[in-house]
Each structure stands twice: as C-alpha cells, then as structure tokens.
Structure 1
Amino acid sequence: MYRPLHDGWTLTAVSDEVDIAGIPAAVPGCVHTDLLAAGLIDDPYLDDNESRLTWIGRTTWAYETTFDWSGAQDAERVDLVCAGLDTVATLHLNGAEVGATANMHRSYRFPVRDLLREGANTLRVVFTSPYTYAEGQRARLGDRPGAYDEPYQFIRKMACNFGWDWGPTLVTSGIWRPIGLHAWDGARLSAVRPQVTAEGRDGRVEAHVTVERADGDGPAAPLAVTASVAGVSARALLAPGEREAVLTLKVPEPELWWPRGHGGRPLYPLEVRLAEETASGASAEGAPLDSWRRRVGFRAVRLDRSGDGFTLVVNDVPVFARGVNWIPDDCFPARVTRERLVRRLDQACEAGVNLVRVWGGGLYESDDFYELCDRRGLLVWQDFPFACAAYPEEEPFASEVEAEARDNITRLAPHPSLVLWNGNNENIEGFADWGWRDRLGGRTWGAGFYFDLLPRLVAELDPARPYWPGSPYSGSPELPPNDPARGTVHIWDVWNREDYLRYAAYRPRFVAEYGFQGPPAYATLRRALSDDPLTPASPGLAHHQKAVDGAEKLMRGLRAHLPAPATFDDWHYLTQLNQARAIAFGIERFRALAPHCMGSVVWQLNDCWPVVSWSAVDGDGRRKPLWYALRRAYADRLLTFQDGALVLVNDAPGEWAGELAVTRRGLGGEPLAEERLAVAVPARGTLPVRLPARLAEPGDAAKELLTARLEGHTALRFFAEDTEAALPEAEFDAVAEPVAGGARVTVTARTLVRELALFPDRLDPAAEVDDMLRTLLPGESVTFTVRSPGGLDLAALTAHPVLRCVNEPRP
C-alpha cells in the first residue's frame, strides 16, 4: 500500500535573518513557488525581481507536516519513499532522524516502521542552503573552473539553477517530486530493469529483477517471479536468501518501434509479478506481493562510428537526427505538468523534429517526458547531468554519481525512445581547450566519471544502448574534442564571433549544438516587462538578456543581412527573422551533407522563463519565427541551394521524383533563364544538381533571384543580401475575415513581398498563426489562419506592426 504525503505541509526559514514561519507549502514544489503563493516575493520571472531573491538559496528551510497513522495500517515494513529531494536534506519523523540526502537527481527510501506512532505523526525535512553546502565542498576540495562564477559543480543538483546564459539564478530547495509511505509485507520488487531489443524478426526481453525481503536475507518462503509481454511469459524461483533473477522472453515477430518518419510506434505492456511460492510448487492464490507494469517497444539501436562518423542506427536503418536541445522547461520543475510536456513535445514534432537531446545542465526528466517521447517516436539523447565545469571525483561525489546513475539507468531502461547515453556537456572540451588543465593543477575534473564509471555502469545495466563520453567529442581522449571531422561537434563561433554564413565552411559528421539568438514573442515580453517605453536597451529587457554582450551580438549578426531597425518594433521583427534565417541556413547546410553528416541538433527548443535566447519556443510557450523556419528546414523533403548547386534532400520512405524547375528571375518575377529536368531522389537520400552558369551567375545580383520547384516544394535564393538588393517597396492586398475560433488573413502580392510575418499575439496574447516568413512573388497569394479564443480586431490584423515584411513602406 502506498500513501502519498502531499497535504498539510508548512514552510519555515531556519534563520535569524529571515522571519518566515509556518506558511502553507505545496508538495511537490519548492521554496520559491511557496513564497510566491504566499505573496511574500514578487514573481521572479518579471522585470528584475530575480536580483532581489538570492537570499532564498542562501537560507536553510524546513518543511513540516502532520499525518495520522493507525496500527491497523501496520505492516512488516513501512518505508518513507522520496522520489526527489532538492537537495541537501535531513529528514526527521517524530523527532528521530530518518536519514540525510545530498542529491537532487536520485530517489531515496528509508525504513520508518518503528518510528510511526498511533495517531498523529510529524515529518520534518530540513534543507540546508545549497550555497552553504556547495561552497563548503569547494573549500574542502579546492576550486574547479567552470563557465560561470557559481559553485554548481560542487552539489548534485540541476546546474542551471545557478544561472546560465539563458537562465536566471534561482537556487531552489524543496520536495520536488512525490513523497509518501509504502507499507508492505513479505517481499517487494525493489528494481525491475528490462533490456528490450529486436533480434532479426523477433523481440527479446531480459527482465532483470531485484527483490527486497521484509526480513532481510534470513529464512523465508521461496518467491516466484513472473514476467509477461505480448502473450509470452517466463517464470523464475527465488530460494530463501536469493534476491535477483533474470527472466528472458522471446516474442516472435512483434511490430517494431520506429523513430518519427520511419514507421509506427507500437508499445507492448510488460508486467512483472512477485508472489510467494506454496509447498505444492504453485504461486499463492490472490493478490501478488508486488507488481510492476510499463509499456515497452521492440527496437535495436547502435551507434555507427565508421569513418570517424556518428550515426544513430535504429533497426539497422541509419537515422538522420533532426534534433533540438532540451533544457528544463521551468526553473521550478514541479510546475512542469504532463499537459505542458504534451504541448512542448508536440511543438517539437510539428516542427519536424525526430530527436530531443536532454542537456547535461538540467535533469533526468520525469517519467511522463520519456513516455510521451515513446508514443511520439521522438528519439532521446540523454546527457548525464554534468555541464560546462570541472567536477570533483572525490567522496561524497563519487558515490552519489554512481547511485544516481544506477537509479536513473534502471528507471529509464524500459523506454524505446532513449537511444543514447552521453557522459557530459562540453567538459572534455573545457579540459582540452579552455585552459582548465593549468588551473586544476592536477585536481580531478570528471574524467573518471566520463571514461570509467559511467561507461561501466551503462555496460552493466543497459548494454543494449550506446554510450558516448561527452559532447563535443571526437572518439578518443587523445584527439581534439571539437573536431568537425570526427564524432560530435558544437559550433559556437557563429553566434560569438562569425556571421552565420560561416556554417557553409563546416563539413561536420554530427552537429550536437549550434544556435542563434532572437527575442521572445511580443506578448511574452509585455507580460514579463513593465519597461515604458520598451526599447532594445531598456532595463528590463537588458536583464532578460543573459548572454555576454548578447545585445551587441544580435545587432552584429543583423547588420550584414537586414536593414538597421529604426524602432523597437523593427528590432523585434528583424532580430527574430535573423535568428530564423541563421538556423535555417545551418540546418540546410548540414542536411545537404548527408550521409557524411548525420545529425543537426539545434540549440534550443524551449526556455525556462521569458528571455532573449536561442529557443524556438519562448518561455511562455509561444512559437517564435524560428519555429516556423525549423518546420520548413526539417521537413521530410527539402530543396536547398548550396555551393553552386541545388541539393534535393529526401528523408522520406519513398522515392521523390518529378520535373524540377530552376529559374533565374528578376525581382518582378519575370523569368530570365530556366532549366527543367526529370529527377529521382532515392528514399533517405540526397541529390546534388549542379547549376549551369546561365542560372548560377546573375546579370545583376541586386535585381535577381533563383527559384526552384519540385512537386509542391519551393526554394528561393537571392543573389544579394536584403541590405544590398534592389527590393521594391512592397505592395499587396491584405484581407482579414472572421472564421470559427479566429480569423483568416489572405495576402496577395502586387510586387515582391519579402519575409511576410503575422504577429497576432500583439492583439490577443492567446492568438497563434499557422505560418510565417513567406516570400511572395508578384501575383502570388498566401492565406494565414489565426486561432484566437479572445477575438481579434480585423483591421489591426492587416496593419503595422502586426503584419510585417522586410520591404514594407517606411513612414
């Protein structure tokens, strides 16, 4: 019997400086959200409120609740089960210490039967200040370099809690995952770890089962363990004193689980049951002692390293990773509901994504996250939570890292979506290239985790999945880690120093991180900031730009491509547009290189708060223009101009064939030269088509462009940047009409209209548009559908600054 303990909690500051006592507390939750609910702090996501809340992470806090317990509920064993405590906690039941924790990333179980009383019982959980603990460990072990001047590597906690170049410094404490009492008799299933694979046409399950007995390993009745899936069963007996069994099930010809775009995602219920064995040799009748159920999928996964490449292969089919990086979706993870994950992961799927990388500065995500990825065919690359710092390998960290890894490898083993374990984010690169070696002076930095402990644990507990020591990484500690010619690469010179056209100079094998910034939606900014007026340099907006020199880098990246913004509205539209263009340019480059390059993982899908960042979906869940660019660049079929050629990319299961038309045109749409040819691109293939000089070389670069069309797919290439092109002043007709649930906007071009965008959230914060960033030639039309539960001003919907284009008339 499991009894949640989520009610009746209070929160108290254990501090002479902070006078907060006995306020209501939500469990699961954290101190910040409790203080916010009590009206004791301002929303840390608004304006610069975050700056005044650093005291929370430097305070010790106590959670306390009282619950009733009856002897009638007694059992041989009663355990206090803590799915997640953040982070350094001491637990007391009725005044007696139950246990202590120092790791946000793992679960805990404490026996408490002898401490329970008839009637009222008091449970108290005291959380030591994360800073006090981390700074104490740093003083004891010696400092270690990191990307930020915060001690996040000295505590097993979500690193980005301490601030990042896209996130606020909001250092949390609290009971962040469920907590409760588990009463049980006889024995229980303490761990079930299925290894589920496909071998030829058959499926195979090895269910590794560990049992805990109520009386320890002393004399007891034999136990029977059974496992069943897809109509196949297996049974094992555990004699007194035995704790582990492996049950093997061979399933004939199951339907295979495939990534998105490659096939279906069938899931099969796998059940494991534990019962006492009777003297007659049959399991005792009635309810089992314990049971475990999950849905599993049959598939085989491996990492192909041939030729120094990096290719994920599922069911013997190489998969081009159309990926995004995932960060925690909220600084306060207990607020991330299943419904919110559904929306965010659906946004990934709708953008053509087939892989999500769970980044190492965050968390092992919730069971809901991986189960939703299973159902959607989203491949999951899982970082172990180490990021951008040298980590100590001494105790207590070595034991904590092993415990958390064992806990989470076992927890995530059933999920077919999980296809790769990755040791860390950028730490190998930091040691090799960021000057850490000299600063460390021989102190440990995490190498023992990435090259020894973690691969050993994966080999022991999850041998059917590949392990990679870190990203970027070239395949050997002796090689430069961020070499595009080998393994995985992170490309950050573009955002930090170079124009985005530099992506074309890369010929990588797999790009695991690259990104470009843009601001969030207007409605998100207006909710978060009270700046009046709102300008690119206003104080609130500056506070919500965490990247070093971020505002200047936005403008530097804009200057070569788009006109200088004259107003805040211009700045907002043009920087969002430039972000979308930069990432689309990179994606198209890397996809055109397939199969030499087999992965593009954009930084990043989501945000944890309203901020100027690299995300495609902002902190309020609104889709930025980048999201629409992702959807086009990650489509199954893509036409892209590359290096004097047109490359046809076909990441679909069938051949792509038809008549390709490539036309050099004037900006008025008139054809100047044209080539038509029959093409056929094989499934999962690319086809470069070299362009003849009469197409590739313009007569006047400022006044011409190329168009390519094949089977409803279109690509455009302007010979000059918008700052140098002779773009006409846009003339078009725009008509808005009401439809059920919103409006329909039809735009018909009378001249070239460049990068047409509609921003209905300026009129209704809940409004969304189905498409964006469309370039029209004279005579072409596009229709946008706007969903708006609050209703819209139709006249405003077709006027500045809601309807925008690059070459719009200037006042």
Structure 2
Amino acid sequence: MLEAAPLTDGWILRHEGDALPAEVPGCVHTDLLAAGVIPDPFLGRNEAEVAWVGRREWTYERELDAGSAQEQTDLVFEGLDTAAEILLDGQLLGRVRNMHRSYRFDVTGLQGRLTVRFASAYTEAEAVRGRLGERPGAYAEPYQYLRKMACSFGWDWGPTLVTAGIWRPVRLEHWSTARIARVRPLVTVEEGTGRVELHVDVERTRVEAELVVEARVGEARARAEIDGSQGVVRLEVADPELWWPRGYGEQALYDVELTLLHGDEALDVWRRRIGFRSVELDTSADAYGTGFTLVVNSERLFARGVNWIPDDVFPSRITRERYRKRLRQAADAGVDLVRVWGGGIYESEDFYTACDELGLLVWQDFPFACAAYPEEQPLRGEVEAEARENVVRLMPHPSLVLWNGNNENLWGFRDWDWERRLAGESWGEGYYLGLLPRVVAELDPTRPYAAGSPWSGSWRHHPNDPAHGTHHSWEVWNRSDYADYRLHVPRFVAEFGWQAPPAYATLRRALPGEELAADSPGMLHHQKAEDGNGKLRRGLERHFAFPEGDFDRWHYLTQVNQARAIAAGIEHWRSHWPVCAGTVVWQLNDCWPVTSWAAIDGDGREKPLYHELRRLYADRLLTVQERGGGLVVAVVNQAAREWTGEVTLRRMSVDGGVLGGASVAFTAGAREVALVRVPRELEPDGAKEFLVANAQGLRALRFPAPDREIPYPRPEFDVELVPGGIAVTAHTLVRDLLLQADRLDPDARADRGLVTLLPGERVTFGVSGWRAPDAAAARAALYCVEPAR
C-alpha cells in the first residue's frame, strides 16, 4: 500500500547567512515575522517597511532520506510559491514557476540536503515581460507575467506583500507496482438514477502487472480492469438523495472509495465525498436580452451571492477552522453562492468541503484578473497544466457549479484602451474563448463554463451590457449615488459594492497609538482604492451633512451608507426576478484590516452590511419600489411555499404621527414576486413624511428625501441592560440605530445591525463576549441618525 510521510518538520529558511526556523506549509513573510526579523505588516504603515522581502531570493532546506523498502519514492509538493529550483545534495531535481500547480519528483533511494531555492517573483515576472513585451493591466505591478496569486502584488483593497515559500503541504510517497495518479469523477443524475463514472489514471513501476480497480458508492459496487495506464469504473445509485443549495433542500453527500488492486493486494486508495445533483446555466435569449440563470436539479435560482477573495494575504495561514467560520458566516447571512474571484487562488480542499456541507454554491474563476495576459510560452503551457490539474481536483465537489474564465479582462480589452495599446499582441482571449472551455469540455462536461465576468456571451454585444449575461456595476460607486442602482435591471449582477471602514476595534488594533481620523496617516495607508476617501465623502454628502472633524460620526455614517447602498441594489434587483437572476456582492471578506467593500472585516468582525445581508438575502423580503409612476410593495418570496397575507401600510410624519393607513392582501407564489400597489393617498409627500409597510414580522420603509433634508426629531430612547444584551425603547423616531458592540469589548459581538424604531417600539440587541456589562458604556456604544446641524 502507498505510504505517505509528511515533511513538516526540520525546515530552515536561509536569511543573510542565518538559518531561521521555517514552518511548512508557510511563507517567507510568516517565518520572518515569527523570528522577529520583520514587524507585522498589517499594523500601521509597516507594509512599506517589509517591501524588500518580495525582492529577495530565499532558500528553504532540510535533510531528506528517501530510503524505503518500496520500489519507488516520490517527493510531492502540493504548492510552491512560485519560481523555484529544487535540489537534493546539489543535484537539480527540477524547476517550477506556477503557484497553482503541484509537483512530483522521483527521489527513490536518495538522501541528503533538500534545497528549495526561490527566485523573487518580481525577477521572474520581469524576465518574462522582457521576453514577451509589455501588456496593460489595472495596476503597475507585473502580476500577469507569472502564474501566481495576482493580489500578492496589491489590489484596491489589499497590501503589496509579494510572497515566496512552500505554501501547501509537502510529503514523501513510497509505493510499489502502481499508484493512482488521477481520478476524474463524472457524477450525474438521470431519471432518478445517480451515475458515477470514475476515470482512473495509474502510474506503474511494473508494466506487466495485472491491475484492477474496485469502487463503491453507498451500497453500489463495481470493478474494472486497468488497460495500460487507464481504466473506467461505472456505478449506479438508485433513487439517490439529491444535494441541494442551502434553502432549497438538504446537502446529501455520499462517500466514494476506489481501490487499486494487484491480485488481492491493495496498492492505493482514493477517497472523496460527492453529491448527486444536476446543474445548468440558462443563457437563452428572451424579450429582455440574454439570460444568465443557474438551474440546479431543474430549480431556477435567484443567486444570493458574495465575492470571495483570499481570506489572508498569506494563504498558508488559513486553517480549516477559519474557512469553516468565514463560510458559516456567509451561510448565516443568507448567502447561497460564493464566487472565488480570479485575482486569488484555487482554494484548498477545506474551502470546497465546507461549501459542500453548508450548501454554498461555488462559482470558480480561473486565476486571471484585470490585465492582459500573454498567451505565449512559458505561460501558455503553465495555464493549461494548472487548469487540467485543478479542474480534476475540484470535480468531486457538488458545491462547484460554474467555471469562469476570468475577471474583467474581456471588458478591459473593450473599454480600458487595451486594444489600441496591444496592437495585435496576445492578451488572453485565446485562453478564455479557446483553451479553457476546451479543457472544461474534455474533463468536466457536467458543469457549465462562462468565458468571463462580466461577459455578454458574444462580441456582438458589449462585454458589460446589463441586458446580456453577467454585469459588473461599478459606475455607481465610482461616479454617482447608490440610488442609481435602480436605473437598470441587469440579467445577473456579478459585482457591485460600496466601501466602509472596518470595525472600530479592528482599527484600534491595526493602528496602535494613532489618533484616528478619516485622513490620518494610518487610515490613508489602509485605504487602497483610488480616491477611496473622496468617493466615501461624496457618497455621504449626497445624504448627510459631512461630519467634519468627528471621526466617530464619520465611521458610523460610512457604515450606514454602505449598508443602504447594497440594500438599494439588492432590493431593486430581487424585485425584478426572474429577469434579474442573481446578485453577487463585492465582497464578503478582507485579507487584512482595511477600508473596503467587505461585509466582514480583516479581523473577522461583521460590519453593519453583514447584518443587512441577512435581511436582504432572507427567503422572504419586503421592499418599497417605484413602478409605473407610483409606489409598490414588492413581496419577494424565494421560499418553496406560497406566501399569503396582508401588507399593512402607514403614511407617517417624522414626528411620529400617523397620517393614513390601509391593509392590502397579497399572494406571492413559491419562488415568485408579488407587487402590491400603494394607494396614492398613502405615498409620502415631502421630506417630513415616510411610508411604513409591514407584513408578518417584516418591514420596509420609504423615505422620499435624503437625510440631510429630513427634519428628524432629536432621537430619544431608553437603554437598559437585560440578560444577554441591551434593550432600547424609542420615544421618537430613531433611524438606523446601531450598537457597535466592539466598542464595549473587542471580543463582543451584537446579533443585529441597523434598526429603525418608531415611537414606542422596543428592540433587544443580543450581545456575546462582553465581559463587564455597564449601562453607561452601552448607551455610549449606540449610534443613530441625528438631525442635520
């Protein structure tokens, strides 16, 4: 039987003649940080002080003894970041240049000093650029010239920390006669029968050995011979339980085991978990343009999505528990789709396993983002090799429902002046429209492929045409007010977002000793977006009087604006289902403490946006929208059962008076949207009035004017400590009340975000992790919208 021996211990990192302890898996930055050689690059402006690390060569070493009674021993690296040569006692085993691949070297009977010598990623990228010529990109860093996590080189939410190291596990594998080299599982469901085809590749030491493979899935068993180096095992499971995305059914998973046999001797075993489900992507033309609707088990979905970036700029630090926690947060917010963005990585098995178990659909970008990528060697061969490996590696996961060719590169070619600057040079089109769809069609025909995001499906339409395919909505954040989300109904909104700073406790930890201000040195350093603070200010000034010199109010109001902006988009687009078939918020998470579009900040704390997503992505949503020159209440029902009831409407004044009311019956079918017309006499008239709609515990509000024009009363409310939290009772209208629990205690968390209370209403904020409850502190941690000054 194949024996695997992890090589985690005994590594050293060579640094200027010194030998430092090295952690494997790991990277140079984390080893230097552990040894006290560099300061924490996440704190203050330390990022700039450690920039030299990415410009150096680095060497990892340890002793290796590959002796074994077995016939062959392989040295297996699951991931090397990025350009390196591997030597054993000075003899070259091989050279590598791709972070996204694994590598295997025959070291049978060898022993001695194992050396992994990493070149600077800058040196490698600049050498390739020198041979192939300049290509345009969104950033000046040369990330498009090597197969490495692009955001290592910085992004508009991330630091420039160019890593190197043995970032995934390394081991010795001892084996005899043959081993399983690859298993490609094709899992389908047809007419109530689950079918599994296991396409097996083997590597041999003895070509004459007769080999068979045995497989089992549940009660099903099958056996097949290996012809040369390949074989196919086919199994059927009658009436399998289906795997469903969360909110649509259970996540049934089946254990698969495949054993390679020589006679009665088991040589190697492959084990995975699979799920039976069908997935289609409906891109058919209709009266509105070209659709983009995911269909799972014949059920058409409105995708409630988030974009995922690497959860740490040093991915080797992301543990199974951290993946689980972050994805659990996504699921708890009502998310059912996670897009793995193309400037990052193919994530670890732990990520996809958690998605399988939580019912989170995965949209997987191939790692290309915001740049023109050369199609010549040495890149082309690396692209194909990594695609083939990772398509097969991720195929067992039922959560994976879509392969996507790139992020924004087709759009960039058309709109970002690339076509003129390229002057006929290659830029990646051959990957997205040629190589990658061929690889997916050959290896994984069970899943759809999209050429890019955004992409209209054809050059006949603009790549970012909202009427065709996927759309990225960034003009609103960059140039206008979030109310403009309501001007269009894209077929699928794959990116849109609004910035806000991280939680207060996150800022205090990341910027120790700094007097916080929107434009203080540390705050500016942890704001990577072009004119980010300017856009935050202009976004605020459209709704509020700007709080000059008041950091706490600025911090609160920017959080409010972020939540309201995302709500404006999602409520509008969900109300237009099935024309619009999904929203994917930019972004779920951060890779360090930073002002960004994230719902969960770099320390894992939830912003108010996170809690707002729980409302926006619930199965049932109430929202007031404009239709046909008047107002309607959109009753959005994504549940599997019909929803019937009454919408209670109240036209109110901001001083608390009720100016009119009515109750209107509604019926919203399963997975449907019902529109309830608001009587004209109940539509608010002017800045002093607003509309309240209630139905079965849900509420929607309509304020017809920006906050700076609304004559709010001075907010009055009582605060009391109650078991497990803080209760607030309003005596006036209290709009967007927020408990910033981390101001009570860095470990404290609140169970809800922004809440608007009418006079006489009461709400309880559940609080966990608060070690010393105090009523005065509770009141000081509560913020709400106040009258314009």
Q: Please show how residues 550-565 of structure 1 align to structure 2 within 5 Å.
A: 550-565=532-547
Alignment partner of 1:713 is 2:698:
yes
Q: Which residue is equivalent to 1:760?
A: 741
Partner residue, 2:127: 136
One-letter amino acid of the structure 2 residue matched with residue 597 of structure 1 = C
Is 1:624 aligned to 2:607, yes or no?
Answer: yes
2:636 to 649, 656, 669: 649
Task: Provide Cα deviations, 1:217-258, integer angstroms capped at 9, x if missing partner.
Answer: x3x12101111102111211124xx11112121111000000
Q: What is the SS of the residue equivalent to 1:6?
A: coil
**In 1, Cα distance between equivalents of 2:101 and 2:10:** 24
**Does the CA contact (< 8 Å) of 1:729 and 1:809 recur in 2?**
no
User: How has the CA–CA distance of structure 1 residues 390 and 809 changed in structure 2, closer, same or farther, with 3 Å as cutoff?
Assistant: closer
**Residue 41 of structure 1, CA deviation:** 0.4
Report Cα offsets for 1:419-440 as digits up to 9, x if no partner. 0000000000011111001111
The partner residue of 2:435 within 446, 453, 475 is 453
Runs of 5+ in structure 1 lacking a partner?
Answer: 14-18, 278-283
Moved more, 160-169 or 564-573: 564-573
Map 1:511-526 → 2, pairs under 5 A:
511-526=493-508
In 2, the alpha carbon distance for the partners of 1:79 and 1:315 equals 42
Q: State yes or no: 1:65 paired with 2:43.
A: no
Aligned position for 1:749? 730
Partner of 1:107: 102
Task: Report the counterpart of residue 13 of structure 2 in structure 1.
Answer: 11
Q: Distance in 2 between matches of 1:55 and 1:796?
A: 44
Q: 1:774 aligns with which of 744, 755, 758?
A: 755
Q: Deviations over 1:514-544 (max 9, x none)?
A: 0000000000000001353211110010000
In 1, the alpha carbon distance for the partners of 2:486 and 2:277 equals 35
Q: Distance in 2 between matches of 1:669 and 1:230?
A: 62
Q: 1:68 Cα shift?
A: 4.5
Tell me what 1:264 maps to.
250
After TM superposition, list the pairs within 5 Å mapping 1:341-360 onto structure 2.
341-360=323-342
Among 597, 621, 631, the alignment partner of 1:614 is 597
Question: Which residue matches 2:214?
Answer: 226
- Give the aligned partner of residue 734 of structure 1: 719
Name the SS of the counterpart of 1:174 in structure 2: coil
CA distance in structure 2 between the partners assigned to 1:693 and 1:764 by the alignment:
48
Tell me the alpha carbon deviations over residues 184-203 of structure 1, each in whole angstroms, 9 at most, x when there is no partner.
Answer: 00101100111112112111
Instruction: State the shift of 1:695 in Å.
Output: 1.6
Name the amino acid aligned to 2:151: C
1:63-103 CA distance string (max 9 Å, x none): 0011445x4x2321100000000000100112211111100
Unpaired runs of 5+ residues, structure 2, are none
Q: Which moved more, 1:687-696 or 1:127-136?
A: 687-696
TM-score in terms of structure 2 length:
0.97
Q: Which residue does 2:32 correspond to in 1?
A: 35
Aligned position for 1:425: 407
Sequence identity percentage: 58
Which residue matches 1:481?
Answer: 463
**Residue of 669, 674, 686 corresponding to 2:673:** 686
User: How far apart, CA to CA, are the structure 1 residues paired with 2:783 and 2:434?
Assistant: 55
**Among 554, 572, 576, which residue is 1:571 paired with?**
554
Aligned twin of 2:620:
637
Query: Alpha-carbon deviation of 1:763?
Result: 2.5
Question: Residue 154 of structure 1 aligns with which residue?
Answer: 145
CA distance in 2, matches of 1:688, 1:677: 11
Amino acid at match of 2:46: N
Q: How far apart are the structure 2 equivalents of 1:124 and 1:6? A: 14
Partner of 2:81: 86
The equivalences for 1:485-564 within 5 A come to 485-530=467-512, 532-564=514-546
The match for 1:191 among 182, 189, 194 is 182
Aligned to 1:663: 650
3-state SS, counterpart of residue 86 of structure 1: coil
8 Å Cα contact 2:411/2:454 also seen in 1 = yes
In structure 1, the partner of 2:273 is 295
SS of corresponding position for 1:474: coil
The answer on 1:305 being equivalent to 2:283 is: yes
**Contact 1:745–1:798 (Cα < 8 Å) also in 2:** no
Query: Aligned partner of 1:592: which letter?
Result: S
Distance of 2:183 and 2:759 partners within structure 1: 63
Counterpart in 2 of 1:22? 19
Look up the equivalent residue of 1:496 and give its one-letter code: N
> SS of the counterpart of 2:18?
coil
Contact residue 736 and residue 798 of structure 1 kept, 8 A: no
**Alpha-carbon distance between aligned partners in 1 of 2:583 and 2:472, rounded to the nearest angstrom:** 10
> Does the 8 Å contact 1:668/1:777 carry over to 2?
no
> Please, what TM-score do these two structures have when normalized by structure 1?
0.95
Could you tell me how far apart the structure 1 residues matched to 2:103 and 2:500 are? Answer: 41
Matched residues in 2 for 1:211 and 1:668: separation?
A: 76
**Residue 686 of structure 1 aligns to which amino acid in structure 2?**
V
Give the counterpart of 2:203 among 191, 212, 216. 212
8 Å CA contact 2:183–2:199 kept in 1: the answer is: yes
What SS does the corresponding residue of 1:168 show, helix, strand or coil?
A: strand
Q: Which amino acid aligns with 2:597?
A: W
- Equivalent position of 2:172 in the other structure: 181
Q: Which residue of 269, 278, 297 maps to 1:315?
A: 297
Corresponding residue number in structure 1 for 2:235: 249
Residues 666 and 676 of structure 2 are in contact (CA less than 8 Å); yes or no, is this contact kept in structure 1? no
Q: Distance in 2 between matches of 1:9 and 1:793?
A: 50
The residue type paired with residue 214 of structure 1 is T
Equivalent pair of 1:673/1:695 in contact (CA under 8 Å)? yes
Deviation of 1:719 after TM superposition, in Å, equals 2.0
Aligned to 1:806: 785
For 2:374 and 2:434, locate their aligned partners in 1 and report how far apart those are by CA, in whole Å: 14
Provide the rounded CA distance (Å) in 2 between the counterparts of 1:261 and 1:420: 19
Taking the aligned partners of 1:793 and 1:189, their CA distance within structure 2 comes to: 62
TM superposition shift of 1:42? 0.5
Deviations along 1:324-373, whole A, 9 cap, x unmatched?
Answer: 00000000001000111111001101111000000000000000000000
Separation (CA, whole Å) in 2 of partners of 1:163 and 1:203: 45
Q: By how many angstroms is 1:744 displaced?
A: 1.4
Is the CA contact 2:744–2:770 (under 8 Å) kept in the aligned structure 1?
no
CA distance in 1, matches of 2:197, 2:275: 13
Q: Tell whether the 8 Å contact from 1:531 to 1:540 is kept in structure 2 after alignment.
A: no
| Aligned mates of 2:772, 2:296 — CA distance in 1 | 46
Residue among 330, 333, 338 paired with 2:315: 333
Is the CA contact 1:257–1:297 (under 8 Å) kept in the aligned structure 2? yes
Query: Does the residue aligned with 2:255 lie in a helix, a strand or coil?
Result: strand
Is this contact kept in 2: 1:83–1:179, CA < 8 A?
A: yes
1:531–1:539 contact (8 Å) kept in structure 2: no
Contact 1:531 1:538 in 2 (8 A): no
SS in 1 for 2:676: strand
Report the alpha carbon displacement of residue 56 of structure 1 after superposing the two structures with TM.
Answer: 0.8
Q: Is structure 2 residue 133 aligned with structure 1 residue 126?
A: no
- Distance in structure 1 (CA, Å) of the matches to 2:555 and 2:191: 53
Separation of aligned partners in 1, 2:185 and 2:676: 48
